[in-house]
Amino acid sequence: MNNNKKCSTQQNTQTTQGANQMSEIDDTEREEPKKSPEQKPSGVKACAVISQLNRTYLHAIIKAYEDHDLALLNALGISPPLADKLASAPFHIIERVGSFRAPIAGFVADSLVIERLLNHNLNHAENVKKADELLRYGANFDFTAKLTGLAYAEVTLRATVTGMAQPGSRPRTLTDEEWAAADAAWQATRKTPLIERWIDVAKLTGITIRRLHAAYRKYDYLIDIDVTE
C-alpha cells in the first residue's frame, strides 16, 4: 500500500512539473514570437521609396541647372537642354514625373525615359487647359474629349472642377446673320490650329462651340473647313 501511495505521489508531482514547464513554454512563445529572417517591415512600399528617390533626383537636376553647375549635370547624366526643360516645367509636373514607380536613374541617367515622361505630362497639362477653355466656350463633353484626346470621365471631372454644366437641350440652328459671322470667322482663322480655331471663332462670334459644331457638321460640304466628326 505504501509503495502504491509513493508511486501515485511521484506521478502527481511529475504531472504538475510537466504542466508548469508547458505553461512556461507557452508564456515564452507569447512574449517572444519567432522572428522570420525574411519578414519585411510593413508600412513602407518599395514603389514609394523609388518615387521619392526619383523626385529627389529630378530636383537635384533642377538645382544644378539653376546654379549653372555643368559638372554636376554631366555627372548626373543630363544634357543642359533637358535640364532647362525640367527647370521650366511646373512643380506639379515634376512631382508627377517623379512618381514613376520604376527608377529613372541608376549610375547613368535614362534621359530618354525622363524626357518621355516629362513630355507626356506637359502635353497632358496643356490638353487639360485646352479642355477647360473649350468647356468655357460651350463645347459639349464628347466633342471636348475628341479634340483634346482626354478621357470622357476626365472631361466630366474638369467640368465639375470649373463649374461648367453639360449642355442639355438640342442646339438652335444658326440664323443667317450668325452663319455669315461664323463663315467670316472661319475664313479669318484658317491658319490657326484646330482647337484654337474653334475657340477663336466662338470668341469672335459669341456663338457657343456646341452650336457651331452642330451647324458645321450639317453644312460642312458648303465650306472648306476642318470638322472633327
Task: Check residue 223 and give its pLDDT.
Answer: 43
Task: Check residue 54 and give its pLDDT.
Answer: 83
Task: Check residue 12 and give its pLDDT.
Answer: 52
**Which amino acid, residue 123?**
N
The domain segmentation of the chain, as residue ranges, is 46-109, 126-162, 176-222
Task: Check residue 132 and give its pLDDT.
Answer: 94
Which residues lie closer than 8 Å to 50 by C-beta, 6 or more apart? Answer: 100, 101, 102, 103
Burial, 158: exposed, middle or buried (Cβ in 10 Å; 0-12, 13-18, 19+)? buried
Beta bridge partners of residue 109, listed in sequence order: 105
DSSP-derived letter for residue 116 is H
Cα-Cα-Cα-Cα torsion 140, 148, 164, 214, nearest 10 degrees, comes to -20
Q: How many CB atoms lie under 10 A from the CB of residue 24?
A: 10
Task: From 219, 224, 197, 220, select the one nearest 139 (Cα to Cα).
Answer: 197
Mean pLDDT value across residues 207-217: 85
Place of cell 469672335: 204
Give the model's confidence band at 169: pLDDT under 50 very low, under 70 low, under 90 confident, else very high.
low
pTM strictly above 0.75 = no
Burial, 146: exposed, middle or buried (Cβ in 10 Å; 0-12, 13-18, 19+)? middle
Give the model's confidence band at 7: pLDDT under 50 very low, under 70 low, under 90 confident, else very high.
very low
Task: Check residue 105 and give its pLDDT.
Answer: 65
Mean pLDDT value across residues 186-191: 88
Q: What would the grid cell of residue 205 be?
A: 462670334
Mean pLDDT value across residues 93-109: 74
HSE-CB at 216 with a 13 A cutoff on CA atoms is 23
**Alpha-carbon distances of 204 from 105, 126, 176, 201, 226, rounded to whole Å:** 49, 23, 16, 5, 18
Distance between CA atoms of residues 106 and 53, nearest Å: 11
Task: Check residue 44 and give its pLDDT.
Answer: 55
Place of cell 541647372: 65
Which residues lie closer than 8 Å to 117 by C-beta, 6 or more apart? Answer: 97, 100, 104
Q: Please tell me which residue, 74 or 103, carries the higher pLDDT value.
A: 74
Query: Which helix or strand (DSSP H or E) is residue 39 part of?
Result: none
